[in-house]
């Protein structure tokens, strides 16, 4: 072969109709309030994914067993969040209609609120995130990334969201979350890994799960290239332990958000590896 192909996730060339997992980039970062640039993340995560070995030695698993199609990016409508929201819904709906699991590359965390709207209302939304993101609105914008958990909860129900690793919230959103019965696990409780793993396993068993990973869940020492870094967080090894506890879930959708590649060249590598780990563990568990 003389020519290299355009970057696809993991160098995959599968058609959507044959895929179990469909990767879609959503280069949307219009509401990022501190360090912007996550619109560059889908390309950076794809580039990193090309360099990951097909055989995962630690999992004893051939990643080529994962039938992945790369659909490309949703064409973001800059200036119209409403139009972008409509396009994300359409893209995710199309993948679900084809019986594949959408794997969304953010973009900012807001994309989860767009995507979840086409998932069944009894879906459990499990978010790994440093932030509670439960504001009614932020800077007059109800679709700010600081409001994502609230928008999601309005669709799936307040008792169908679970935020893990939280360490940043304003007093008002904390009170709202408690009053409305939203379950969240502060990062301090996550330091007891075995305890939180058992709690997660119980929460997700047999449930349809939307797994949303905001990369600021990790300690900034491991993931520096994020929009709103928030120490202290957990490490990748800890995350892998928690991932084991999610085996009983039925994965409906996965997203990885808030990577800002220009701030750090490693964070997209971590994001790409993490996606393969999630899919490999689920595939092995089947
Ligand atoms: Mn966050």
Residue 110 C-alpha to ligand 1 middle, in angstroms? 10
d(CA 48, ligand 1 centre) in Å = 22
Is residue 8 classed as helix, strand or coil in its secondary structure? Answer: coil
Residue 74, C-beta contacts closer than 8 angstroms, at least 6 positions apart: 24, 25, 26, 27, 28, 84, 87, 88, 91
Banded model confidence at residue 5, pLDDT cuts 50, 70, 90 = confident
Q: In 109-154, at which residue ranges do the beta strands (DSSP E only) sit?
A: 124-128
Looking at residue 286, its pLDDT comes to 66
Q: CA 184 to CA 129: how far, in whole Å? A: 10
State in Å: Cα 49 to ligand 1 middle.
23
The owner of tokens 């959408």 is: 102
Cβ neighbors of 97 (< 8 A, separation 6 or more) are none
Q: How far apart are CA 253 and CA 268, in angstroms?
A: 20
Angle among Cα 28, 155, 230 to the nearest 5 degrees reads 50
Ligand 1 centre from 129 Cα, in Å? 5
Helices (H) and strands (E) in the chain, counts: 9, 10
Fold of 9-285: 3.40.800
What is the spatial distance between Cα 261 and Cα 194, in angstroms, rounded to a whole number? 32
From the CA of 184, how far away is ligand 1's center (Å)? 13
CA 222 to chain centre: 17
CA of 206 to the centre of ligand 1 (A): 27
Ligand 1 center to residue 55 CA distance, Å? 31
Q: Which residues of 46-59 are buried (b: 16+ CB within 10 A; e: fewer)?
A: bebbeebeeeeeee
CA 201 to centroid of ligand 1, rounded, Å: 23
Per-residue model confidence (pLDDT) at position 38: 96
- Span from the CA of 270 to the centroid of ligand 1 (angstroms): 16
The Å distance, Cα 214 to ligand 1 centre, comes to 6
- Cα 172 to chain centroid distance, Å, stands at 25
- How close are the terminal C-alpha atoms of the chain, in Å? 36
Ligand 1 centroid distance, CA of 62 (Å): 32
70-87 pLDDT tens trace: 999 999 998 889 999 999
Please write the tens of the pLDDT for every residue from 235-267.
999 999 999 999 999 999 999 999 999 999 999
122-154 confidence digits (pLDDT tens)? 999 999 999 999 998 888 888 888 899 999 999
Q: How far is the CA of 54 from the centre of ligand 1 (A)?
A: 30
Distance 6 CA to ligand 1 centre (A): 30
Between 1 and 36, the more confident residue is 36
Distance 40 CA to ligand 1 centre (A): 17
Q: Which of 30-34, 96-100, 116-120, 223-227 has the lowest mean pLDDT?
A: 30-34
State the average pLDDT for the chain: 95
Q: Could you tell me if 45 and 225 are in contact, meaning their C-beta atoms sit under 8 angstroms apart?
A: no
Q: For the whole model, what pTM was predicted?
A: 0.97
H or E segment and range at residue 197: helix 193-204
What does the angle CA 85 – CA 212 – CA 199 come to, to the nearest 5 degrees? 145
Q: Are strands 250-257 and 208-214 parallel, antiparallel or unpaired?
A: parallel
Cα(98) to ligand 1 centroid in Å equals: 30
Round the CA-based radius of gyration of the chain to a whole number and report it: 17
Residue 276 has pLDDT above 70, yes or no: yes
**Cα of 141 to ligand 1 centre, how many Å?**
17
Q: How confident is the model over 257-280, as a mean pLDDT?
A: 98
Q: Would you state the structure tokens that stand for residue 133, as one six-digit string?
A: 């993101």
């Amino acid at each position: 072969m003389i020519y290299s192909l355009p970057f696809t996730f993991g160098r995959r060339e599968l058609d959507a109709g044959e895929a179990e997992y469909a990767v879609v980039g959503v280069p949307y970062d219009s509401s990022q309030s501190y360090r912007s640039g996550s619109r560059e993340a889908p390309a950076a995560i794809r580039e990193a994914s090309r360099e990951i070995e097909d055989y995962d030695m630690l999992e004893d698993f051939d990643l080529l067993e994962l039938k992945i199609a790369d659909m490309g990016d949703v064409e973001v409508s800059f200036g119209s969040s409403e139009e972008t929201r409509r396009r994300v819904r359409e893209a995710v709906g199309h993948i679900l209609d084809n019986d594949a699991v959408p794997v969304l590359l953010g973009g900012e965390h807001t994309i989860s609120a767009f995507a979840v709207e086409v998932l069944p209302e009894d879906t459990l939304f499990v978010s790994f995130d440093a932030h509670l993101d439960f504001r009614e609105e932020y800077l007059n914008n109800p679709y700010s990334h600081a409001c994502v958990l609230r928008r999601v909860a309005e669709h799936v129900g307040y008792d169908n969201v679970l935020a893990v690793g939280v360490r940043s919230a304003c007093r008002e959103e904390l009170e709202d979350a408690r009053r409305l019965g939203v379950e969240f696990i502060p990062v301090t409780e996550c330091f007891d890994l075995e305890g939180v793993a058992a709690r997660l396993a119980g929460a997700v068993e047999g449930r349809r799960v939307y797994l949303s990973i905001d990369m600021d869940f990790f300690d900034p020492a491991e993931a520096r290239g994020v929009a709103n870094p928030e120490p202290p967080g957990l490490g990748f090894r800890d995350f892998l332990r928690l991932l084991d506890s999610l085996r009983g879930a039925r994965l409906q959708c996965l997203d990885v958000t808030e990577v800002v590649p220009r701030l750090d060249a490693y964070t997209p590598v971590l994001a790409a590896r993490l996606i393969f780990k999630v899919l490999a563990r689920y595939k092995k568990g089947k």
